[in-house]
Each structure stands twice: as C-alpha cells, then as structure tokens.
Structure 1
Amino acid sequence: MTSGNVEQLPSDPVVTELLGGIPEPDSVAAKIVDAAIAEFTEYGIKRVGIDNIARRAGIHRVTIYRHFHGKDEIVTAAAITWSQRFFIRISQMVTDAPTVEERFVNGFALALHGLRAEPLVRRILGADPEFALPYLTTEGGQTLAAVRMFFAVQLRWFFGPEDDTEIDVDGAAELAARLGLSFLMTPDSHFELDDVDEIRRFARRYLAPLLRRPV
C-alpha cells in the first residue's frame, strides 16, 4: 500500500469505527482539531483550554461546543487525527521493503524513533506526561487502538484472509503498539533503543517471529 488516503485502506471494522470520529477535511470540526494540535504542540495539553483553541481556530467558543462536548473529546479527536497522519507517513516510508517482516520491523523502528523526535510528542511528554497518559492508554483505548489499527491494516495488505488462521495479525499489531507506547513513555530500558538501527534489531529479534507461520 502506497497511498496516503485512508479511504484506500483495506476494509476493517476498527478502521471504520475510528475514522468515523475524524472530521472531514476542510470542515469546521477539522479546523478545530488542527487548532488543538497546534496549541498542544506549543503548550502541552494541560495548559490549553477551549478559549485557546477557539482563538487559534478564529471561531467563537460556542462554535466548538456545536461539534465537541468538551476538551476531552477534542483531545481524543486530535490524538487519533495526528496518529493517522503520522502513521500514513510511516507506511509510505516502508512501502519498498522486500518482505512483510521487513516492513513490520522497519515500520516499528521508524515509528518509535520518529515519535521521539516529533515536536508534539516531545512537548507533551516533557510538559505533562501524567496528564497525557490516560489519553494514550485509556479513554476507551482509542489512541492505542489507532496505533494498533495502522500496524494491522499494513500487515493485512500483505497477508490474505486465509492467513489469519495461522498468523495472529491483530495480536502482532497490538504487541507492537503496546511495546512502542511503553518504550515511548518510559524510555529507560534493558534494551538499547537509542537509534533507529538499534530499534530495528530489537524488532527483528522480538517482533518479526510473530509473523512466521508455525512449522
């Protein structure tokens, strides 16, 4: 899969459910989410209120409440929207990998390494990690599900439906997502994961075997 257009991704019920919460491009809701992402990148999540987002978007705060019930809902929409954009970029970077294992390994390595360098992630983890943690791990699990979704959809693009009985695609995707978020939130580790090559070696040893058919 080489396209950055989510509508061309293979059909998946989780994809449909998650993307249903992402505003249509050029809509007022999308403008609000983009403003929220910009505010969170500059100031973190905790310090940003509805008034800040409204001012950045150039709209009245009442307009925001026509589209979102409150800040928590905006944060969740912003997290899923941002994750969608980020992982589409990652998928485009690994599209030429010769095997599905290499695509999985490279995708995990580039994603974890890239997330650590992203201004939004650095701001949130530096400013208020304890405030961000519930949005990453709970709140219905939507952010975690979004990360798992992109790994799973990428894998299913290569594996046909008949392979699901031999390879637990969703399981491999969830382990990759949970490990990635864990290493992101708590970087101190027994494993050396300081650069993309070290992360790639880790993924090749511990994650790639998840995609091998039993003999």
Structure 2
Amino acid sequence: MTSIRHNRSDADTVLDAVRDCVLAVGVRRTTLADVARRAGVSRMTLYRRWPDLGTLVGDLMTREWLAVATRAMPDASEGPHTRARIVTGLVAGVTEFRDHPLFHKILDVDPELLLPYVLDRRGATQEALLTLLTDALREGHADGSVRVTHPERQARAVLLLVQSFALSLRTMTDEDDAELDATAFLGELRTLLERTLTP
C-alpha cells in the first residue's frame, strides 16, 4: 500500500473510494479496510486523516452536496437579477440532490445518518451552504431584488424551507396522482421562494 499526501486529489481518491463502497453496500456495511483497499492506500494512511468511517462519510457528503449546490447556481450573466438566480439555483439544487445516487442509497439503506442534521445540529455541509446563501442574499439586498432583512437569519430560514423539500418531498407525493407529483411540488417551492424573497 502507498501513502498519500494531504492534498485535494489524494483526498478525492479516498472520497471516490468511499462513495463507491457506500453505493455498493451502504454505510453500515462499509469498513475503513474496504475503503483503503479500493483507494489503494493503507488503513493507517486513512486513520491519520479520518479517525473513523463517520468522519469520512461526512466529508464525502459535504463534497457531493456542495458540488450539487455550486453546479445548480446560475452565473451572474444568466439571470435578470440576483433573486432570480437564487430561486433558480435552489430549485435546481433540490432537483439534482433528490436525483443523486448517494442520497438515494443513504435514504434507502441508512436514513438515520441524516437525522442529526435534521433534528440536532448543523453539519459542515449546512454551514457551507449557509455561507454561500448569505453571500447571495447580500448581493440581492444590494441590487434591490431581495427583501432586506438580517442576512444570516434569512439564509437559515431559506435553507430550512429548501431542506424540507429536499429531504421530505417523497412523503408528500403520490405515485398514482399526477397532480401531486414532485415536479408540481418543485413549482410550489419556486413560488414560496419568490414570495419570501421579493421585496
């Protein structure tokens, strides 16, 4: 086994390996030995950076979910104002997140992993998303397209709304009722975001 340095590409190799393991067997059945073998490194190399599998999976989720968020947000040139870009980006982000294979695997096999971030505390992903959202809301305050209020509190309220659609939407949809499908609900999310952010 080789040793890896602590740079981005090395970390990504390990995170790719844990993603592949989780997609194959779920989190509970994945071991650090499995990850090390798939990444081509020693277990001691992993332990130097990640004390346990939970930390490693947490870093994986942060990487994957932040990638979803950044891909979903339109460039400044793609919208008439900041509010439009925020709303479009958040709805697109929820759509991509709900389609993400890692999210599906966790939801189907290890849903308890998500509970602490819903009921008890904010995780690294949520903190990073709040920073991105707060910065975008401040831009909207400056260009007059977003209702001006305390930006950090506004970001938290918006993330609470978006998070409920991302995590719980399937509890409110019915496969046999086209009027209650996910696409229609995402339209409702767009309306809610527009109305809460419009000055």
TM range (shorter): 0.7 to 0.9
CA contact (8 A) 1:80 1:142 kept: yes
Shift of 1:93: 6.7
Does 1:101 find its partner at 2:88?
Answer: no
Name the counterpart of 1:17: none
CA contact (8 A) 1:31 1:57 kept: yes
Which deviations, in whole Å up to 9, do the C-alpha atoms of 1:145-188 show, x marking residues without a partner? 23323322333344449x99933332332223222222232222
Letter in 2 for 1:73: T
Name the counterpart of 1:57: 39
The change in CA–CA distance for 1:202 and 1:92 in structure 2 (over 3 A counts) is: closer
Name the counterpart of 1:19: none
Does 1:202 find its partner at 2:189?
Answer: yes
Alignment of 1:180-195 (within 5 A): 180-187=162-169, 188-189=171-172, 192=180, 194-195=182-183
Shift of 1:132: 3.3
Q: CA separation in 1, counterparts of 2:62 and 2:118?
A: 10
Higher RCO (CA-CA < 8 Å; seq separation 6+): 1
Shift of 1:87: 1.2
1:167 partner SS: coil
Name the counterpart of 2:157: 175
Name the counterpart of 2:3: none
User: Structure 1 unaligned runs (5+)?
Assistant: 1-22
1:77 partner SS: helix
How high is the TM-score relative to the length of structure 2? 0.77
Letter in 2 for 1:43: V
Letter in 1 for 2:195: P
User: Structure 2 unaligned runs (5+)?
Assistant: 1-5, 174-178
Shift of 1:141: 2.8
CA contact (8 A) 2:21 2:30 kept: yes
* RMSD over equivalenced CA pairs, Å: 3.1
1:186 partner SS: helix
